[in-house]
A and B are shown apart, each in its own frame.
Chain A
Amino acid sequence: DVKVTQSSRYLVKRTGEKVFLECVQDMDHENMFWYRQDPGLGLRLIYFSYDVKMKEKGDIPEGYSVSREKKERFSLILESASTNQTSMYLCASSLPGLEQFFGPGTRLTVL
């Protein structure tokens, strides 16, 4: 079974803090993705990576950065957290062109 894990299920941070969300997959997938999910807005792609050290912006990259130093790990970084970044963050991985497998999600609250 594909397994995608995320470092935290729930996280509470303060405005201005630097926040790291980590995602690890164990199926040797080339592609990894970070989404945020908000009520009424669906899943929105923040960043994705198709290889180690390779990344591309998604639909809403502002305020976020990513790092992929190893194939199995993809990190999302909020350089200076703001209240409008309170959301559910979902990581996913896939082989090229195939279905994406999601992690359990991290519910981030920024106070």
Chain B
Amino acid sequence: DAGVIQSPRHEVTEMGQEVTLRCKPISGHDYLFWYRQTMMRGLELLIYFNNNVPIDDSGMPEDRFSAKMPNASFSTLKIQPSEPRDSAVYFCASSLEGQGEKLFFGSGTQLSVL
């Protein structure tokens, strides 16, 4: 079975540009999470969805960040406008209720904002 799929694997952009990160969760999973990993702050939960509905977005750093999940098999995390301090690895993860102890992570998107 395919795992969580993220794209792109690497993204280099200039300050002020819009960045869209994409995620396809494991089929059948009903929870989807977006995490950000930096050296300074470690792994932070940005937002999570249950059955495509955003449940907790308190980790989203500011209004420049937005996330959507239009259907059960696709989610996006958008940064507009991007800033150098947004440079990080962004992970998407999914899980299934009843197996909530196991988060399955994608390979991450390495974002560099110049």
Is the pairing of A and B real? no
